Amino acid sequence: MFIVLVLLSSVVLINGATGDHLTTATEEDVPRAPATDGHTVITESGKTGTITAYAPDGSVIYYDNSRTKYYDVDPVEGDPMTIEYTATDTINSEGVTCSDPPCSLNVIERVDLETGEKEVIYERYDASDYSSEWHDADRIDENRILVGDMVEDRMFIVNTETEIVEWSWDVQSAYPIEGGGPFPRDWAHLNDVEYIESEGDPMNGMMMASLRNQDQVVFVDPEEGLQEDWTLGSENNHDVLFEQHNPDYIPAANGGPAITVADSENARVQEFQRENGEWTQSWEWSDERMQWPRDVDRLPDGNTLITDTHGHRVIEVNPDGEIVWAVESSRPYEAERLETGAESTDGQSAQELGLESHTPGDVGGTNGEANSGSSESGFDPIGTLSRLFGELAAFVISYFSFRMYNALIFITPIWMGNPEFGAAAVLILTVFVWILLEVSWRLYDSQIKIRNPVYWGNSKK
């Protein structure tokens, strides 16, 4: 029985490791996308750092993997075919820029997608590679950029011409270090910033930031600091947000104030509307495949562009909740539809559009979505075995922490899915029980017995 279980689970693991699986590590492996109405740029920051630009016909017009990790990407105003993005290089060799490897180089870089010409706008070296990144930067004007600095748990405005930091807000000025993540290595995990510029909006001139480890989206006045009454979420209240990514502010002019946000550990994207001085959930979308989304943008046509990192895809959902466009990607971080402006500037709120929420039980069609499973008919023993192990893994995962499962996905090879996790669990458990029983049988055959050293009895004087 043990031999059979070991062989069956090994077959599933070997099939997963050697079969055709998704990878975007090289340009030749990047899948073609369906046609759409604009250019789409996708960044990756997992084991493979890439930036890929798709033309409206779905062909790849630009690809780069020269940086270790890529994060935020935005089109340059007035020139959508030129983009700016944040990226991080890990430095593993000792030298002038790193006396104690590994270190990090964080950059804001600009590239012309038509010519491939690149220019570093601003850069800084940091003495660690653990949560030492800039996940987001938001251009304010020709010379000033708002930067989300995960290294120092702050956001700051830098003049890229003089390289002088003109303003900064430190998370510690408003939050105790007893909360959040482990201090000082990954405490606030400030992963997104946005400068709000909308005349007549109550948040005009404010800075918005995502504090992932505090489960909150916050607003900061450049002079008065944190605006507590506007904070969305609260630490460890995971019914609202659970380690979110990339919130996007929708101004009053577009039906807001509202915030779209990737509620990562809850495996959904959400929107919150500001009503009567409070945030109220106004829209939610997820499906059975969604796993750790990290970006959501409302497009001007009412569709929503979603980056599903551990679902290995970028999808576009229409107002009816149907997937109308999708492309596979190893571990995408952010996606931008370039012609719609940074974070899709003119996207309207769900309340304004009258959008209805969709969850796994009621999501509509999946037109344009690549099918991750096999649709072939006939006898497929390995496929059947994989499905059995996958169902076993899904059953077990439902009783464990979703957060732990995402962490497991993050550190394992890209080809590991539910079937492979199920097979690995069966293999490890089988080998462990087998060894335990073999040792027990050997001890029994050798007449070696283990006696409890603690016993009850009468003491004698």
What pLDDT is attached to residue 349? 97
State pLDDT tens for residues 95-112. 999 999 999 999 999 999
* pLDDT, one tens digit for every residue, the chain (461 residues): 989 989 988 988 888 887 777 788 899 999 999 999 999 999 999 778 999 999 999 999 999 999 999 999 999 999 999 999 999 999 999 999 999 999 999 999 999 999 999 999 999 999 998 889 999 999 999 999 999 999 999 999 999 999 999 999 999 999 999 999 999 889 999 999 999 999 899 999 999 999 999 999 999 999 999 999 999 999 999 999 999 999 999 999 999 999 999 999 999 999 999 999 999 999 999 999 998 999 999 999 999 999 999 999 999 999 999 999 999 999 999 999 999 999 888 999 999 999 999 998 775 544 444 444 434 445 677 778 777 877 777 777 766 677 788 888 878 887 787 888 888 888 999 999 999 998 888 888 887 766 677 766 665 55
Q: Which tokens in the block code for residue 348? A: 């309207």
- 344 exposed, middle or buried (CB, 10 Å; 0-12, 13-18, 19+)? buried
HEC string of 278-304?
EEEEEEEECCCCCCCEEEEEECCCCCE
Strand 49-54 and strand 60-64: the pairing is antiparallel
- Residue type at 242 in one-letter notation: F
Cα gap 148→131, rounded to integer Å: 12
In the chain, what is the straight-line distance between the N-terminal and C-terminal CA atoms, in Å? 55
For 27, 29, 114, 246, 381, the CA distances from 66, given in Å and listed in that order, are 12, 16, 18, 24, 41
What pLDDT is attached to residue 461? 52
- Angle, nearest 10°, between helix axes 381-397 and 418-445? 80
Strands (E), 65-115: 69-76, 79-91, 103-112
- The neighbour count for residue 82, using CB atoms within 10 Å, is 18
- Residue 306's nearest CA partner among 254, 361, 358 is 358
In the Cβ-directed half-sphere of 439, how many Cα atoms lie within 13 Å? Answer: 7
Length of the chain: 461
What pLDDT is attached to residue 395? 74
Cα gap 133→193, rounded to integer Å: 13
State pLDDT tens for residues 435-452. 999 888 888 888 776 667
Place of tokens 């959501």: 296
The residues near 273 (Cβ < 8 Å, ≥ 6 apart) are 256, 257, 258, 279, 280, 281, 282, 349, 350, 351
The residues near 366 (Cβ < 8 Å, ≥ 6 apart) are 287, 322, 323, 326
Rg of the chain over Cα atoms, rounded to whole angstroms, equals 25
Domain locations in the chain as residue ranges: 1-31+381-447, 36-353
What pLDDT is attached to residue 103? 95
Cα gap 149→147, rounded to integer Å: 6
- On whether the 36-353 domain is CATH 2.130.10.10, my answer is yes
- Angle, nearest 10°, between helix axes 418-445 and 2-18? 150
